[in-house]
Chain A
Amino acid sequence: MSAPAPLPRPAGALTRRTVLTALGVAPVLLAVGCSADEPAGADAVTPAQVDQLAGQVAVQEELVAAYEVALVSAPEVAALADQARAQLTRLRAAAPSASGSPPSGAPSPGASSGPSSGPSPAPAAVAGDAVAARATLRTQVATAATSHATACVGFSGARAALLGSIAAGLRGQDGQLT
């Protein structure tokens, strides 16, 4: 009888050069021994997708701003805020423009190729009320997650994976804000 198969574990390394480049961790490339000659393939982006990526960066920036507002009255969300910032860093690294604001001429929010349903600005009125702050933040986290998940399916390759992963991470945060 053959030995039992080990249970799958989460992926622990990168191999795709495009992913490494996009996420700013190129030194890992040699460590995992992958080819440096791989074509862009699924990670190529169209001009419209560049705009959309910039839009998703803007969505995440709004979420990070919302966390900053919520932290005033709900400091216990600090760890979640750190994760939102980490997500923003990775999104910026993956976005060719990396500015966070839609480039000139980009469709406005709500347009078909713009950011999809990003969080609305955090109302300043929530400061001082932890319960209200968490409730407002939860709505914004859920909205951002939906936005990233919706955008994700319009991409391929590493950017689809990153947007989908961030959406999943925000779904996980959502439940912690009840």
Chain B
Amino acid sequence: MTGPGDSTGTPATTSPTTSAEAGSARAEDAALQDALAAEHAAVWGYGTVGAALTPGTRGEVVAAQEAHRDLRDRVGALLLDRGAEPVAARPAYALPFPLLSEVDACRLAAVLEEGTTAAWVWVLDQAAQRTTRELAVVEASAAEVRAVTWRARAGLSPVTAATPGLPA
């Protein structure tokens, strides 16, 4: 499978983000960099989502943004501990579609969560260490649970996915 995108936030392509063999330390670090890039994008994206929602519906946005911010910091620290330079956030990101309504904002939140789910499933694919897989499976699940909420709010169907983060 391909990675969720490169370490600078580029969308998924047909090329893996690393030439290292899956299960190697190098491949694991590269996948964690991809996950970090996705978390950067999610933190930024939730700022946009929150601005497009009415105040009464922002509670979950704040909670989700905090979760992604905490995870971003955790992954960054993990990479630093390994002697890797954590990928930085981009100054700005291009929205996949214009936000013209609250429904659009909820759709964007779902897209953000799907991106991070894919990134963490990719970490599962590439990871060398059990502890990394433990982190990845927890975070993939957390992101999918949030994605379900946002898909429902956006009126998308189905709201659940059989194998989130993997091609259908």
Measured CB to CB, the residues of A under 8 A from B are 1, 3-16, 19, 25, 28, 31-34, 39, 41-43, 79-80, 83-84, 86-87, 90, 145, 149, 152-158, 160-162, 164-169, 171-176
**Would you give the 0/1 interface string for B92-109, flagging 1 where the beta carbon is closer than 8 Å to chain A?**
111110000000000000
B residues near A157, Cβ cutoff 8 Å: 22-23, 125
**Would you give the 0/1 interface string for B116-131, flagging 1 where the beta carbon is closer than 8 Å to chain A?**
1111111011111010
Can you list 10 residue pairs at the A/B interface with Cβ under 8 Å?
A11-B4, A11-B118, A11-B121, A15-B2, A16-B125, A42-B126, A161-B166, A166-B162, A171-B142, A174-B145
Is B160 in contact with A169, judged by CB distance below 8 angstroms? yes
- Do A11 and B127 contact each other (CB < 8 Å), given the known contacts A164-B140, A167-B141, A168-B140? no
Is A11 in contact with B158, judged by CB distance below 8 angstroms? no
A11 to B1, CA, bound (A): 8
B residues near A5, Cβ cutoff 8 Å: 8-10, 41, 90, 92-94
Is A165 in contact with B22, judged by CB distance below 8 angstroms? no
Is B164 in contact with A172, judged by CB distance below 8 angstroms? yes
Is A168 in contact with B1, judged by CB distance below 8 angstroms? no
Is B95 in contact with A13, judged by CB distance below 8 angstroms? no
Is A162 in contact with B166, judged by CB distance below 8 angstroms? yes
Chain A interface, DSSP helix/strand/loop, else mixed: helix
Task: Flag whether B61 is at the interface (Cβ < 8 A).
Answer: no
B residues near A33, Cβ cutoff 8 Å: 14
Is A165 in contact with B140, judged by CB distance below 8 angstroms? yes
Is B160 in contact with A172, judged by CB distance below 8 angstroms? yes
Q: Contact check: which of A84, A155, A165, A174 meets B121 at CB < 8 Å? A: A165
Is B121 in contact with A168, judged by CB distance below 8 angstroms? yes
CB distance from B158 to the nearest CB of A (A): 6
Task: Flag whether B153 is at the interface (Cβ < 8 A).
Answer: no
Task: Flag whether B155 is at the interface (Cβ < 8 A).
Answer: no
Is B167 in contact with A12, judged by CB distance below 8 angstroms? yes
Task: Flag whether B47 is at the interface (Cβ < 8 A).
Answer: no
Is A6 in contact with B14, judged by CB distance below 8 angstroms? no
CB distance from A175 to the nearest CB of B (A): 6
Closest residue of chain A to B37 (Cβ to Cβ) is A8
Closest residue of chain B to A83 (Cβ to Cβ) is B162
> Interface residue count for B (Cβ, 8 Å)?
68
A153 to B139, CA, bound (A): 13
- Do A42 and B22 contact each other (CB < 8 Å), given the known contacts A5-B10, A161-B1? yes
A37 to B1, CA, bound (A): 15
Is B15 in contact with A161, judged by CB distance below 8 angstroms? no
A10 to B127, CA, bound (A): 18
Is A11 in contact with B166, judged by CB distance below 8 angstroms? yes
CB distance from B151 to the nearest CB of A (A): 9
A153 to B141, CA, bound (A): 14
Is B93 in contact with A6, judged by CB distance below 8 angstroms? yes
The 5 residue pairs across chains A and B that have the minimum distance between CB atoms:
A42-B23, A5-B9, A8-B115, A161-B125, A83-B162
Is A13 in contact with B11, judged by CB distance below 8 angstroms? no
CB distance from B78 to the nearest CB of A (A): 16
